Each structure stands twice: as structure tokens, then as C-alpha cells.
Amino acid sequence: MSVIKVMDELLSNKIAAGEVVERCASVVKELVENSIDASSTEIKVYLEDSGTKSIEVIDNGKGMDKDDAVLAFSRHATSKIKDEDDLYRLDTLGFRGEALASIASVSKVNLKTCEGDIGTHVIINGGKIIEVSKGDSRKGTSIKVSELFYNTPARLKHMKSLYTELSSITDYMNKLALSHPNIRFILKNNDNVILRTDGRGNLLKVIQSIYGNDVVRKMVSVHAENDDYEIDGYITLPEVHRSSRNNMVTIVNGRVVRNQDINRTINEAYHSYKPDNRYPITVLNISVDPSVIDVNIHPTKMDIKFSKMDSLLDLIRIMVISKISSKNLIPKAFLKEEKPKEEKPIYIEQYIKLDSNESKVEEIDLPDEEIMINDDFSIVSDEEEYKTEKLMPQMYPVGLVHGTYIILENENGMYLMDLHAAKERCNYEKFKYEMGKPIVASTPMLFPITIELSNSDYILLKKHLNLLTDLKFKVEEFGINSIVVKEHPTWLPTKNLEDSIRTIIDVIIREKEFSIEKFNEKVATMMSCKHAVRANTHLTQEDMEALVEDLRKCKNPFNCPHGRPTTVFYSKYDLEKLFKRSGFDTKK
């Protein structure tokens, strides 16, 4: 090759590097996916300073011979992608070949690889091969990429903070581990182990090594299938939620993908069981005929579309709803140090014994039968078939604290109930029920209420006046920028009526665009709060008993409509422990 041609190639590699290799995480992704392609069962990723100093990936895969080892760094070594169609098939990882050349052009690469006999050692600096020699005979490949972007200072400046680089690498490795429970992964940064999985194929153990014991103990298994899809996985009980959607992982035919609709559907299925702006931790494995999928491949993204999307979303929605709506979801007040075995945990179907130290990196050694989820959940075909029995146990009020919390008891222990949250939930379900009736009754008002608005608000309200009439308010225009309300829906309590109407009008004015369902939902939630008891209320024993019975009749007695818990539980054991009675002679 002429000097000029070599220069050309180096240059185009550098340019390509800017597109494909954006961050340390892109290098890790590239190298680790090569290791997966090489059928490795163990992949170790060692970083120095979050990968900015060096990234080393060591696998036990099939390795390369000398020719392939050199060829791997040439720009057109697209051995994995033979034609354009390959790009769109999900079982092809795509974008290799070129990426390795690009990485090598902006870093120093040290490669050792061996197919089992004589190994090969290749050293490349800034895309130039410095040395090709005999290496050791350990089967597999180890590749170390150092000083990324050392020869492209402009790129180097774009590197994010060490923390950001490390967190995106960790995030990527977590997802890879979740989608490959049969591969043993180790991720280290400067000798700190960040992730270690055992590669024994148990998804729940992988989840445990990522999220820790507390989360795993609050996960339930899910399964559902229809003609097109089969779904398996784990979801957290509603009390466990995070601020980011990032912990909702969807794996399709073994690959982690992204799909907004799936995430939204899962999140909506949890609606009113948890705050809407918080997200569950979920790992769903979806198996599907590849012809149903449309993957939009970009080296850094994995967006996916399905041709039978509605069928998938319905399946997911019903699967999640029926799972969480059939559980006793009262959170325990004390979460750590469960008493093992003999005391049955109140809502955890799978019970995982803890080793007392919380360290994620500990070798997980749980007998497989303990980690097995023992519910044989089969999906109901019709939402109407959901259980209607009471999910919340019988409990008896003992007293009221600060006019805010009811203390209750039963044979299992003690409960604290948030008066406002409980009442809010009862109101909410009552209002929703009344609003959903085919004919909503309205009550004429003895004293019609006039509401005056600013000119701009009045315009907005007039545009959506149908929302008020749909709710069964009878409204007429009344002078300048005013309306008069003459009838209200019967379900709306007459107390503080004007305040309620103003609140509803505020929702109409403030909301930019909405569906009737979302509007009704919002009205029901706001009204349930307005008409729930405030703190510092006096309640008689009968009032409390009636409230508890009302709450137990609710479809979801465990959360207020905003997703806060109504009730927490202190088991007898928790109480004994609190007073150091456990382990002692409790008669003393």
C-alpha cells in the first residue's frame, strides 16, 4: 500500500471513531460484544480510572489465529456483516469490524489471542501496527485499549467525568449480564469489583448481584403468553420504585432493547399503586418470532418496533396488573434482617435468605430451590376475572395518634394507618365508580354558584366546557368572563362545593391537552384528597372501624391515589426485636 493510501485509511478510521466510539462505554460495548460472539462463558472487564486510562477485556472464547488477529483491525474486516440485510436481523450484533479499526486508530491497543495452540500478540498505536509476535497459549482473547483519544485532543475534551463514564459502563454491563445470565461477568474499576455474576443461568441471581438483596426480596416472577409472544421475568412490588426508567429492562430474543411503549405500559399498570413519577424495577424477557420485529439499528441505540404491538402491550398490562392487584402489599415497617423461615413473610412469595453483609460482590451461594419462585401464576384471559376477595387482612383499631395515624392490631402484629391516605383511597374508588356509571346523576343547587375568571382563563375554559358538562355539571355563561353553575354531579360532596368546582376548572385551564380518561382520573384524585380527613381530626372508635372496613373493600387498599402507602405493618417479631425481647425469655 502506498504511504498516501495508508494515511487515507488512518484518517477515515479516525473520522469513523468520532461517530462510533463516543465514550469509554462504546469501547467496552464493542469489545465485550466481540467476546460474546466468540462464545465466551466468562468475560472480565478491567478499567483503570473508569476506562479513561485503560480498558481491558479478557474472555475465554474461541480466540483468533494470527491472520485474523491482524485483519481484525483493518477497516474493512466486516466479517460479521455480509450484506445490508444482516443489519436488520436481531441475532446479528452488527457494526463490528469497522468499530475495532476505529478504536485502534485513536488509542494504544495490546491484543493477545489464542485458539488453543500458538498464541498471537499484536501491538497497535494510533492505528499503526507496531508489533506482531508469538503470544501465550491461553485460549481466548485479551485486549487492552489504553489512552483512548490520546491522538485526537478535540475528542478527548468531550469525555465526560470519571463518574459519568463509569456509570454508563456499569449500566451497559448490568444490562448485558441480565440478558446473558449464562455468562460469568466481572467488572472492576481500579480493583473495585462493581459487578460479578456467576454465569449459572439464574436471572434472579443476576438481579441480586446488581440490585442487592432488599430489592430481590421484593420482586415477583411474571409469566404470560399469547399466540405471538411469550414473556418471563421479574417485577418489583409497588413499594420499590426508582426515580429513573433506566431500571426497566426489556430483553427481546436475548438482546436488551428499548421501547417507550413497553415502559409506559408497565408504568401505567402500576398506576395509583406507586407515585406516577417513580418507576419500578423490571426485567422482562420477551420471546418472539424475529419476523414480527423491526429493529432500528444504530451503534449506540437499540430501538425496536413490533408489528403486533397492541397484542404485546395488552399482554404486558394484564400480566402486571393481575400480578400486583392480587397481593397483600402492606409494607413492613422494618425491612432489614428478616427472621428467617418460620415466620412467613407477609407478602414475599419467594424468600431469599440474606447473608448479613450487604456487599454485592460476595459470591452468591443460594441453593437453587430457595430462589425458585413458587407461584404457578397463569394469566387470566379476562380482566373481570380478577380476584375480588379482600386483600387486606382483618384488623382492629386501637387508637388514634396525633389525629393522623390509626393504630390497629391483629394476631400477626401491629399496623399504622395514615388516616388521610386511607380516606383518600376510599373516596377515590367511590368517585371513580360513580363517574364511570353509564348515567351519572346530577343534583340541582339551591344556590347556584357564580365563578369569575380572568379573560384568558375564561377563553381556555370555554374551549373545554364540554368536560364540565360531561361530568354532569350544568353550567351557563353569566356576564363577562363568568359562568354560573346550577347543577353538580351527585357524587361530588356538597361540602366546600365552590372550592371543588374551582379546583376542577383549574385542572381544565392548566392542562394543555388531555383525554377524557386522564381528566376524570385527575378530578377523582384531586377530589378524593380534598374531601379526605385532614390531620388533627377527632375520630370515634366507630368512625375508625367504618374507615378500615371501607378501605378493605377497595380494589387497592394499600395506596392512596398518589401511590403513597395507606398502611404499614410491624410484625410481632419486629416488635419483640424492638424491645430486645427476641432471643430472651420474654416473660421477664
Site residues, Zn ion (CB under 5 A): 424, 529, 560, 562
Minimum CB separation of residue 425 from Zn ion in Å reads 8
Nearer to Zn ion, 424 or 521 (CB): 424
Angle at which helices 541-552 and 419-435 pack, to 10 degrees?
50
| Alpha-carbon span 424 to 272, nearest angstrom | 12
Cα 375 to Cα 88, 111, 287, distances in angstroms: 38, 48, 21
CB of 52 to Zn ion, least distance (A): 46
Task: Compare residues 184 and 425 and give the one whose CB is closer to Zn ion.
Answer: 425
Residue 321 is which amino acid?
A: I
Measured from the CB atom, the residue of 98 and 424 that comes closer to Zn ion is 424
Pick between residue 33 and residue 424 the one whose CB is nearest to Zn ion.
424
Shortest Å distance, C-beta 323 to Zn ion: 23
Q: How far is the CB of 536 from Zn ion (least distance, A)?
A: 15
Bridge partners (DSSP) listed for residue 488:
443
Minimal distance in Å, beta carbon 568 to Zn ion?
15
Sign of CA dihedral 75, 80, 86, 87: negative
Taking the C-alpha atoms of residue 357 and residue 47, their distance in angstroms, rounded to an integer, is 25
Q: Give the helix ranges, DSSP H, for 289-418.
A: 309-324, 368-371
Residue closer to Zn ion by CB (options 54, 267) is: 267
237 to 241, 248, 357: CA distances (angstroms): 8, 13, 23
- Least separation in angstroms between CB 534 and Zn ion: 9
Q: Say which residues have a Cβ less than 8 Å from residue 509's Cβ, sequence separation at least 6.
A: 453, 457, 460, 461
Which residues neighbour 140 within 8 Å (Cβ) at sequence distance 6 or greater? 38, 40, 58, 59, 60, 61, 62, 63, 113, 114
Residue among 224 and 529 whose Cβ is closer to Zn ion = 529
DSSP summary character for residue 279: B
Cα 496 from chain centroid?
A: 40
Q: Which is nearer to Zn ion, 21 or 560 (CB)?
A: 560
Take residue 391 and report the three cell numbers written for it. 386483600
CB-nearer residue toward Zn ion: 188 or 562: 562
The 184-189 sheet, strands edge to edge: 128-135, 119-125, 108-114, 140-146, 54-59, 42-48, 184-189, 192-196
Closest CB 531 distance from Zn ion, rounded Å:
10
Cβ-based neighbours of 490, under 8 Å, separated by 6 or more: 434, 440, 441, 442, 443, 472
CB 180, CB 200: distance < 8 Å: no
Residues 459, 462, 464, 470: what is their CA dihedral angle, to the nearest 10 degrees? 160
Q: Residue 174 or residue 520: which is nearer to Zn ion going by CB? A: 520
Closest separation in Å from C-beta 559 to Zn ion: 8
**Could you give the C-alpha distances from 304 to 22, 185, 250, 257, 298, in angstroms and in order?**
22, 26, 10, 6, 11
| Coil vs helix vs strand at 213 | helix
Q: Which is nearer to Zn ion, 10 or 426 (CB)?
A: 426
Copy the grid coordinates of residue 486. 346550577
* Closest alpha carbon to 110 in 118, 119, 101, 122: 122
**Sheet arrangement for strand 442-452:** 442-452, 482-489, 474-477
Nearer to Zn ion, 428 or 570 (CB): 428
Q: Least separation, in Å, of the C-beta of 377 and Zn ion?
A: 30
- Residue 256 CB, shortest distance to Zn ion, in Å, is 35
Nearer residue to Zn ion within complex by CB, 189 or 500: 500
For 42, 86, 131, 255, the CA distances from 303, given in Å and listed in that order, are: 27, 16, 40, 11
What's the closest the beta carbon of residue 400 comes to Zn ion, in angstroms?
Answer: 18
Least Cβ distance, residue 39 to Zn ion (angstroms): 53
Find the shortest distance in angstroms from Cβ 528 to Zn ion: 7
Least Cβ distance, residue 399 to Zn ion (angstroms): 22
Q: 374: buried, middle or exposed (CB in 10 Å: 19+, 13-18, 0-12)?
A: exposed
CB-nearer residue toward Zn ion: 223 or 562? 562
What's the grid cell of residue 190?
A: 481500579
What is d(CA 458, CA 73) in angstroms, rounded to the nearest whole number?
A: 68
**Smallest gap, in angstroms, from Cβ of residue 418 to Zn ion?**
9
Give the H or E element holding residue 69: helix 66-71
Distance, CA of 213 to CA of 210 (rounded, Å): 9
Cα distance between residue 588 and residue 586, in whole Å: 5
